[in-house]
Structure 1
Amino acid sequence: MRKVSLPQDVRKWVTEELNLQPQHLPHDSFFEALCLGQGASVWKYVTQHVYHEKNVRVIRGNLQWFKMQQDKEVGRAEGQGEAARRQALQREIEELKVELNQLDCKISVAESQLTSEERSVRRSWAEGEESHWRAVLLQAYRQCCAQDRLSLCQDSSSVSRHCHSLAQLCRKAEVDLVFGSESTNGSTSLGPTGPQPQVLREVRSLCEERLLFFLSLQESELKSRHAAGTHLSHEQREAAFQHWLSAVEDLLRSHPPSHILSALQHLASQQHGSLQAKLDSVDVGRDVAALRFRYDNKHLQDISREEEELPSVKSLFQDGWAEVEHALVQLERTRTQVQQQRDQLNRLRKEALLDLQGSQPQSEPLARAVFELELEHVIQAAVRDSVQEQCLQLGQQIMDRQEALRSLRSQWQSIMDFRQLVDNKQEQIHALIKANSNAKSELSRFHTEIRQFAEGTLGPQCGAVMGATSALHNSVSQEVKLTGSLSLAALNRRLIEGLQRVPADWLSISRLQSPPLNTLCQSLDFPLYRAPEQLTAQAVSQQLELRLLHQLLQLHKLSQMRLHNEEALLPAPDQQALLRQVKEADEELLQSLLPRVRELSQRSSQGLLYCAQAKNAISHWWEQPVQYVLPEMCRGGLTLQKWLQRWRLAAKALE
């Protein structure tokens, strides 16, 4: 049982006699390793006989007190001789001195052994950390070398693919293409001598696609004032241009420049022939005359009105007599309807008079007057309706004439637009002819530049690139071999303020074991396993929390004073009503908070299950020197070195 509890005794002895914090001690497995073999007897003796200097002083004080007690006993004892007592006391004093000297020797030996063991432990820890850092840095260097090797392989593969594609293009360029005779129909794929080459078809499709895009842009610009929805946005234009540009790049990669230039020259000659034929067939004077216009002194004149023939007098008389006959027929029909209405009105009037005479003879004049007024009212209403109908007819005629006027104005505007369009077409034709000749010269120049670039730049550099790739492969393997003989601690340095090259192990958070740091962490309740750059944030948060607690305390005092004042002013409470309210409040709290408490307890149990995983993650983070692997990582806008510098300044300010 003693062997089993010896590591615990050693741990307890270290905490009590050396005044070390439990969280600063190593793991229990370390104490178990110390107590194995011959070390068990040594540590057993140390725990039983080696004490701290303070405990030794206590023992010495107890011995002095024992001496005083003995002196008192000797003084009280009678019958003993002074010499015997003096000798006994001297003997006891000498024995005590010898025992104290032995204790001091044991303490000094134990302290020397402890210091040597601490040095060995620190040395072993430093060697372990050095080996771990070396392994981490070697792994990082290995990853960097692998990335460099991968990038070099990718570059060499891309260069080889480019060389292969250039070789294929050179082989294709040796083949002479025959495009056949010029044809105005560019959509056919069969010529008089056989099928057309693929490069010619692809170049024609790209040119037609670009031409259609420009035509759509022109139409959208011309129709933008009438239909705003047909206007192409900037994103649509950019997408169309990127699609066309990718197609052009594919064409340049799949065909040699000489074939592309020959195809463009063939298409340019075809377009030039078709444009020349169209220009020969264009007769502006004939087209303008067909539209009943005349082009005189750079102005279009409408001659349609001049060529109109006046109608004959006979036709005019016939039209007038037809209109008069139609008006007379309508007038006769209207008179007949009026006569019928009058007859019906007279008949109804007579019937009404007879009814009035038969019913009340005395009120006949009054009834007749009322009847006359109603009849007059009906006649005026009919006249009003007829006048309104005529007004509507006149308004409709006015609207028809305005519509005719607007149609004439629109026709005039269309004529002016057509005139502007004719001028624009002529300018575009001249510009297209000029651009075609410029494009032909540019294509020939581009072909010459591409050939010179391929022969003078790409060809000589292929061998140099392959040689550099092989040399870099060999240098990577040599650097890996030489890395094992280097001292990584000497190379791993950091620049501070751009001048000092400080070793990285000086900046390690595992070496911040100064008493001011421990005191500061204990006062701020800051755990030592956390990064030191979070110490300032912890201090600020605790300061804000302290300020909030002071405010809450003041509010609590004010509320208590106010509550006492209100209680003094309140009458005697109704205890039964208060009890009922308390019971109701308790029931409401149980109904509302009990499910929440159950849910929180369930979450707490789940959180306890993840404690082991969190502890493992924290221990892994603590064991790995992340500050050496990622020195450029920033948190809160500052790196680790800057946070350490701020922490040092804060610690000095607190001192």
Structure 2
Amino acid sequence: MASTEKSKMENLYGTLLKWATDEMKFHASAQNTQSGFKLPSEEDFKFLCSGPLVDIWKYVTQHVKSVQNAKLIKGNVELKRGLQVAGPQSVTSEDERERRQLLNQQKSRILRELQQAKAEVVQLKRELGHASEELAGTELAYQSVSQRVRDLHHQASLLHVVQACAAETEARYEEYANRLDKCVEEMTNKKENSQENFVSGSLEEEDEELETESCHMVRQACENISNLINCTLDSDIDEAELESRKSDAIDRVERAAAINSTQSLLRALAVNADHGAKVLRQKTSSLDISKDAQEISFSYDPGEGLRDLSSPPSATDTVRKLLLTSSEQHVFRWFKEQEHKNEEWKLSSRQTETLEEINKLLNKVIGDHPSHLSAAKSYVTSRVQRAEERAVAPCLRKEAARLVERIAEAQEKREELLLKYSKIQDFQKLVGKKQASISQLAKLNAAAPERLKSRRQQVWDYLESRSLMTHLTEVQTLPTHLKGALISELDTFMGLLLPCFLTLPIDSHTRMCALDLSLSPTIYALAQEKIQTYSDICKALEFPAHKSAECLHLHVLSLHTSQRQLVAAQKQREYTATAALRAAGKMGDLNDYIGLRRIAEQHDEAQKAKLLPPLKEGMALVQKHASEVDLLRKTVTTWWDQPAQWTTPWVKNGDMTFDQWMQRWRMAMTQVHSKLMARKGGQQ
């Protein structure tokens, strides 16, 4: 008898297991495990079939069907009922009956396959839904981890940048301090050893005067600055020469400022300004503005219109003037020639008379000696010829000098004309090059509209082929997030407390912030600012106050896991209740829900009347104890603020007490803040 019962129980256990897996489609998949459902083991099925629920499980395995099989059975029953109602309308032959029976069997088989396929499709959709949920959870976890990694990287980069900026600023200020020290030392030395040395003036001046060395250096610096300004206004000068003159001017100014004192520089500037004003007055004294204005004046004639009086005359007037000038010169030359001829005739006549008188005198004196007379005549003739030749030589020299001068003037004019001709040729070449460039640009711009149109069409095609909504969103949100990000980060960094940077070794591989430890309120007084937020978080998460803060992460993970399990169990219960109501055909009956709601309201009222008074008493007691704890906390905080906290020798980190770290932190923050304000002032 016992063996029979045992065999029946084993058969029932196998039937129930087969019903759960084959009929109800329960499988231990990853999605079901994640959602909170777990298929019972064989021992669990044996335990279920061994109790007083044997009859219930027999009824369940025999009568309870899945939704897909129930639909299939109902469809077969309706089909059979329809066939029975329709009935044979006419007597057919045996072959026709067999053919119809075969078709009905094929139809039933196809319908069963169709229902089975539908059930498999529903099962696949359910598994796909679970897979999508799992994928969404995994994606959310991945995004959270990647966001955290980005935040850590951003914080590390920001700290690195701030550190580098602080080091650079510190080095810059050290350099500025060294320069100031050098300047102060040089000014002190200049004031102690100030003496004026005199040097000669510029070589360009006609009268070289003595001037002080400071005036000489200031004048040279001013001349270099004027040359630099002229070079800047000149468009033909290259960049290298401009930089060289700029560096020369800066060197001159720095040398003058380094050697001379301030008073000597001011005196030198005053003397240089006075000297420049005097030179400018001398150069401008020869200018006649009224005369220049008359020369460049205009006249207005109603017939001819506006006419520039300073413009050159026409070619006809110029030729007429040249002809008149040449005629006048020719007349003057003819008059001079006639004067010279008259003077020559007069001199020739006087020479003839003088020679006759000399001959008469010789004849009278030595007429008796013919040889002596001829010799005396020849001597007189030679002396007269010699005198004539001597008189002609200076004239010839003067004429030769005048001709040489005219030749030199003509040579200078020829060279000037050649220079002008070369400039004209260069200008023509430049004009040709410019004209060629303009022609090339015109040819290039001729096809520019077509190229611009094609490029514009390519850009529009690219914009139409790609969606720019995400790019527009990123472009709009990125400046919003980056606006003032560095300043806010620096302000936040400056407002950090010193204990935020103090870390304590937990083990050989782990270091933790001092404020994250559960003992931080008893060690650091500044942790009281953080303890309020920490207490609120622990109260909201029901985290025990005696545990350390490093256990809070595990507690949050366990709460998250339990919450997901509760949500999965709730969904499973809702699904089971919905399936049971659908099988019982009571999905649309609202009276049951209304009755259940009334029963629940009555139960809630009874529980409220029973539990509300003790709860109020407990709340009053808790508020009383909370006020006492608050008073005790204030008393302890007041005691902690006393000087006794500084006498604890164990409160050290890096061989420094808390007070020493605080002083060092305040000094560092003050220096950083002052440097940032100085930089902002310099940028403004």
| Fold conserved between structures, TM > 0.5 | no
- The structure showing larger relative contact order (alpha-carbon pairs under 8 Å, at least 6 residues apart) is 1
| TM-score relative to the length of structure 1 | 0.24
